[in-house]
Structure 1
Amino acid sequence: MKKYLSVSEMAEYAGVSRRTLIYYDQIDLFKPKKTGDNGYRYYSFDQYAELDVILILKALNMSLEDIAAFLKQRNPEYTLKELGVQREKVRERITNLKQIEGVLDEYIHRYEKIRSVDFEVLTYDYREKEYYVVSDMIDHTDEPSAFQVYSHFYSLIQSRDIFSGYPIGFLTEGSAFEQRDIHSSPYRALIRIPEERRKVYPNNLVIEKPAGYYVSGFVRDDIHHLVNFSERFKKYLNEQNLVINGDIWELMWQDEVATASKEQQIFEVMLPVKSMN
């Protein structure tokens, strides 16, 4: 009567590769009952139960290190405790995956919206207030200084907010709109955060984009587009009897994730306005 299974036969039973069983042997997780003089591994029939335990725990996403510790201390009380620990790890991963899903939703929403944008249209509408973490003033003509400001800024922000999927923003004084290129003026970088995350940051780092009426439009980060955009914007304000009532808010809807070309980056420019009457 046959007493042992070869490594290939045990692997076929378990639905794993020979290499996996050999690796389990090498790390002392699941060793054969004996090894022949020829180096061949042989498993007894009753070892399938222990291998089943390993496969179950691995299917529950437990690490091989944790499985090894589990096998050495296995009893009902310990099993219940360790499965509870593993459940908490899974719940944490689910939370993280939901956050990643939310970020992906934001990116996809942005890039899909850009595909249908009419760059010739300006809108006048009411916007709800939003909150942003804000940097110190940045002078884009001084690259070393700008780099230092950005480095300090990002070091203060939690990664979940940096990589939230929300567009990165920029805040420029309203007077800059009189220039040909609003991107030539000093500005502050912005990262949008949900209202409930304001308490995470010191008050001096958080700025509110006020609720109110804004004129807005989309533009590519190209000098020709920017100049034409500014002219159309000024004409629109004059025709609608409106004046700028605050600073220039910008959101980068199509960023370096979507394009390697700076000229293909797309901004939404928003100006708070009020009636001249």
Structure 2
Amino acid sequence: MLRVANDKLLSISEFAKLAGTTRRTLIFYDQKDVFKPMKIEETGYRYYSYEPLYQIGFILGLRDLGFSVEEIKDYLGGSSRDALNKKLISLKNKIELRIQNLKQLLAILRQKENDNFQLTDVDFYVVKECFLPDHDFWCSDPKADCSEAEIASSCNQFYQELGTGVMANKNLSGFITDLPQAKANTYANSGFRIIKKIIQSKSQHPDY
């Protein structure tokens, strides 16, 4: 059971425990005039009431999101609410995009688990000639006469721009070349593009 100082107020250690923070953090915010205690005795001991627990939680949340002490101070003082609200909206959009990407990755992992699909089953060094039905593909910029390291770097950049988890799914991917036939001895030096079958609307991916 928590000991209540002065019959109604909490000591700084008790309040810090309730707020999920530290005594040092509360002293820091007091010194920066961001979050003040209810009472400071002549001995220097700080005391807090229960009411501002929500406010300190809000402040700690803003700090976790990357807001500076000065930004939080201005916001609480009402001098820059519009600017901070815009930043909050921007962060919200980034978080929502991250959640969307994680959901996509989770769906891919579940598909991989269900189908027992292994990336090691794919031979990236075998040239195959095939005919495919009409379909839309994401396509990289043209490349030519690349080393293995340059090809790997191009693939990495291509899939990063497409979004999290795209490389791991089973939809058709590979290279398209300008060779008249699939000739393995000239494939390495030919011009090519990296391709990936589109599984979502174009509005969710960059243009190529």
TM value normalised by structure 2: 0.56
1:10 and 1:174 map into 2 onto residues whose CA distance is: 72
Residue of structure 2 equivalent to 1:140: 146
SS of equivalent residue, structure 2 residue 118: helix
Residue of structure 1 equivalent to 2:76: 71
Tell me how far 1:108 sits from its aligned partner: 6.6
SS of equivalent residue, structure 1 residue 113: coil
TM value normalised by structure 1: 0.45
SS of equivalent residue, structure 1 residue 189: strand
Tell me how far 1:91 sits from its aligned partner: 4.8
1:1-277 matched pairs, under 5 angstroms: 2=6, 5-32=10-37, 33-34=39-40, 36-37=42-43, 40-45=44-49, 48-56=50-58, 58=60, 63=67, 65=69, 66-73=71-78, 86=88, 89-103=91-105, 105-106=107-108, 109=111, 112-114=116-118, 117=121, 127-140=133-146, 150=154, 160-161=161-162, 163=164, 165-166=166-167, 169-175=174-180, 177-179=182-184, 183-192=187-196, 194=200, 196-197=202-203, 201=207, 205=208
Tell me how far 1:139 sits from its aligned partner: 0.8
Change (3 A) 1:2 1:162: closer
Unaligned runs of 5+ in 2: none
Structure number with bigger Rg: 1
Change (3 A) 1:97 1:133: same
Q: Percent identity?
A: 19
Number of residue pairs matched? Answer: 184
**2:146 partner amino acid:** H
Question: What do the CA deviations read for 1:151-178 (whole angstroms, capped 9, x no partner)?
Answer: 9xx5xx7954265623663223454534
Q: Is the 8 A contact 2:163 2:205 kept in 1?
A: no
Change (3 A) 1:108 1:50: same
SS of equivalent residue, structure 2 residue 6: coil
Q: Is the 8 A contact 1:176 1:185 kept in 2?
A: no
1:26 and 1:57 map into 2 onto residues whose CA distance is: 15
Tell me how far 1:72 sits from its aligned partner: 1.5
**2:192 partner amino acid:** R
1:190 and 1:162 map into 2 onto residues whose CA distance is: 15
Unaligned runs of 5+ in 1: 206-277
Considering only aligned residues, what root-mean-square deviation do their CA atoms show, in Å?
4.9
